[in-house]
Each structure stands twice: as structure tokens, then as C-alpha cells.
Amino acid sequence: MHRFTPLRIALAVATAAAVMGTGVAFAGGSSDAARPADAARPADAGRAATPVAADVSGATELVQGFIVGYKSQAAEAKSNEAAVKDARAKAGKAGEPVSFERRLGTGAALVELPEADKVQDAQKVAAAFLADPDVAYVVPDRRVYATAVDPAEYSYQWDLYETTAGMNVPAAWEQATGKGVTVAVIDTGIAKHSELSSKVLPGYDFISHTWTANDGGGRDNDPSDPGDWLKRGECGKDKNGNPVPARDTNSGWHGTHVAGTVAAAANGYGTVGVAHEASILPVRVLGRCGGTTSDIIDAITWASGGTVTDVPANKNPAAVINMSLGGKFTCDQAYNAALKGARDRGATVVVSAGNDNTDAAAYSPAGCANVITVAASDREGNRAAYSNYGKVVDVTAPGGENNVRDADGIWSTLNTGTTTPDKEKYASYQGTSMAAPHIAGLAALLKQKNPSLTPAQIEQTIKNNTRALPGTCSGGCGAGLSDADKALTAVTGG
């Protein structure tokens, strides 16, 4: 029996709350509440984001930038020079410094507030943009975090094969293994591991802030995970004035663990991924203290084959994207635009529901349109105690739970380094971060079996071929517990 010293991923839950405005309001805080129907996506009725007015009186971190969407006829929608001039004009109206930072892959403009030190400063800037008839939306550039919790020691992959609450994956391998399918893991990047090295395609590091990146620079073509260890309080303070994180934390190697669940190669030892012959496209967006939605929006666009200014073209567009991350705010127009673009380009986007035992509608991207939102189950088939739930959840998959038994987590690839990368190893984590890559792997199996399947068809196939949770689920666990073999059997080859 393998035994490993567990690492703990310390998750800050603070995110930037949205800013109150007029005209187009902001969705903020932690709720992804009810979403009106998206006519283009019958399987996801209730998912389209509607802006909800909110203020920043309860903000847990200061808004330092906005994503501004201009109407298509506006000069600022096409010209960076015009956007720069507009930022200067808005700075004059608001009486606060405002600078155009860059154009996002969706066409929206990222503007920064370099000297904003009060909520009111951000409100004035937002009001200046919202008063402009050429502006379609303004949303905060928020911070999001990985969604894994409480790792444990563990050596068996019960999540794949146990009859009680496993996902019935070995039977599915008789039909597909993920060969020829690219899965993008938008996460912390990836550490070297023998079970992953043969699977990894050239990815990209989208973290634009040097301190967050922790690798000596900003954006570049190296998506390696240098580590995300933190000292107490390095991410600031929460709304109660407590330091974030509350204590020193080690590097978590979150993206490496997620990638292993998707596609670990099974080299005769260690782990095997759900789609163990798929390729992994590592896309780094999370570093020290998480990552920003502006960077994630560009990563979604690039991973799915879209164009991002000053970033080389992606030669391996992903058919499936996994995002085991989230922030406590209602999905906004900027996020939705990126996710819709990815889906329109043919990418199935799978996201984690979140780990706060509350309505997933309060979180993004869990509450966004054009995604498959995944809740987590434990080894007995109950909704895991930490897992978010609700109407926005599409399906449930094994996420593990270590509170009763250490052996009940999700075992996957990891690294021994407490700060910087060291030797490879395996370890057990729990979280909706672990549940989502099970579904991303299943989507890859379906795509291999029938390459003509659209993201909507893949989602519906997964949802139509679940089984009832053998345990209990309060609050809503979507269509049920995913069954890989049932889903593969339901489709014919392309």
C-alpha cells in the first residue's frame, strides 16, 4: 500500500465584489442565483446571466480593474488607441487614474485603477463608464481560486470502478480511451511527472502579474507550475480583517493533480486517468493568491482556438476544457462572452461547483451559461459535505471526502515540493476540483467515440445517462451520479 504525506491546499474565499452602477448593473458577491433561459442551449435552461444590482459595501478585496465591453459600433471596440483615449477621458470624469491595460480575447478592454484605495473610487470610475452610451457592460476584474480541499493519504482509485459510487470507467475503456482528444486544464500549470510527460502539449502561462506568477515574469509560453506557497496574510485581509491565508501554506500542485485525474498514463504503476490516452494542454492562470478573471477569459479564448493579442496562436485547440476553479460572484457578461465563444468554437467546458456547501449559483464559472457544472460525491454516494449544490449543477462525480476515512479521497499525480518543484509523487485530494476532471475525461471519451458530437450533445449525453446517487443529496445534485459506461454506450461511433 502506498502512503504519502498529505499536502493541504489553503483556499482563500475572498473575491472582489461587484460595483454598483446605473444602466448596466453588476452581479456581485457570492451568489450565482437564478439565471434566465438560454434559448441556444435547451439543456441549460436557467443559465443565461442577468446583471443584478449590487454595491461593494461588503467587498472582501478592493476592485483594482474593470473589464469594459463596448458596443460593436463604437470606435473603442476596435481600436486600442481609441480605448486608451476613452480611459483617459473617464479618468478625467471620475477624478481617478484609469489606464487601458490590454484587449482581451473576447474584444473587451481591461482597464486598471492603479491608485484606487477606497470602494468609492471604483464606484466613480464605474459610473463614468456606465454613463457612456457606447459601453455595453462593465464588470470587475475579479480574483478566483482553485477548488480543492483537505488532501489525505490514499492508494486506490475507487472513484473509477467501485460499484457503489464509482463512475464505471473501466467498462467504458472498452469503447474509448480519449486517444486523439485534447483536454485543456486551465489551472495552476503543471509540474513534471512521469505519468503526464508523454501527454503534455505546448501550453501557455496567462498570468499577467509578476508577483502572482511567481516565476520571474508575466505571460510566456512556459505553463510549468513554480509553486504557490504563501506566508500568512500575503493575500491581504478578509472582510472581517483577518489575514488571508490565516497561516503559512505549502504549494498545492493543484493543476498537476487535476491533469492526472483527466489523463494519467498508467505506466504500470501509480494512477490512471479517466481518458488516459488523451492529450493535456496546460494553461496556467492561477498562482499566488489565485488568479484574475481577465487572465482566465483570455485563457478560455486561447485554449479553445480563439485569438488573443500578443499571444502565439494555439496549434492544438482543445475539444474539452477543465476549470477546477471559482470565485464567489454572479456570472457576468465578460465571463459569459468567453465561455460562449469557447462553446461556439466546439469546446466542451467543464467546471467545478465550489466547496462551500451552498448554492452553486453564487459562484463563477459554476453559475455561468455554456458550461457543465459538477458537484462532488463521497465514496458512499452522498453529496460530499463540502460540495456546492443547486439548480445550476448539471451532474455529480466523485470528489472524495476525507472526514470519515483517509482512504476516501481522489488519488492522483502530485509533487513533493513544499515550495518549489521537487520529486514526483501521488496523493489524495478532495473537492469539486477533483469531481470536474472526471467529467472532463468522460467528455474526451465521448469525443473520441464520436468526433461529430457538439458540446451540447456531449452534455446531454452525460446527463441522460447517469444513475441515482446511492446516498443522499440535499439541495440538488443535477441529473445524478455520472456513469461513464452508460454514456459511452448511448452514442454510436462517428
Does 152 score more than 80 pLDDT?
Answer: no
DSSP string covering 219-256, please? Answer: SBS--B-----B-TTTT-B-TTS-BSSSS-B----HHH
| Rounded average pLDDT over 142-159 | 64
Q: Which amino acid, one-letter code, is at 407?
A: A
pLDDT tens digits, one per residue of 39-53: 222 233 233 333 222
Does 35 score more than 50 pLDDT?
Answer: no
Give catalytic residues, as residue numbers: 187, 254, 433
- Residue 395 pairs in a beta bridge with 374
**Per-residue pLDDT band at 271 (split at 50, 70, 90):** confident
Q: Percentage of residues in the chain with pLDDT exceeding 90?
A: 76
- pLDDT at site 139: 93
- pLDDT at site 32: 27
Does 425 score more than 70 pLDDT?
Answer: yes
pLDDT tens digits, one per residue of 231-269: 999 999 888 899 999 999 999 999 999 999 999 987 766
Backbone angles phi, psi at 106, to 5 degrees: -80, -10
For 29, which DSSP code? T
Q: Rounded distance, CA 406 to CA 186, Å?
A: 28
Q: Rounded distance, CA 179 to CA 313, Å?
A: 23
pLDDT tens digits, one per residue of 53-106: 233 333 335 678 999 999 999 999 999 999 999 999 999 998 989 999 999 999
Burial of 490 (0-12, 13-18, 19+ CB in 10 A): middle
Average pLDDT of the chain? 85
| Rounded average pLDDT over 385-412 | 91
Handedness of CA 11, 13, 19, 24 (dihedral sign): positive
The region of weakest confidence among 17-26, 229-238, 279-288, 478-487 is 17-26
List the grid coordinates of 386.
Answer: 463540502
Does the pTM of the predicted model rise above 0.85?
A: no
- pLDDT at site 373: 98
Q: Quick check: helix, strand or coil at residue 297?
A: helix
Q: From the centroid of its chain, how far is CA 203? A: 16
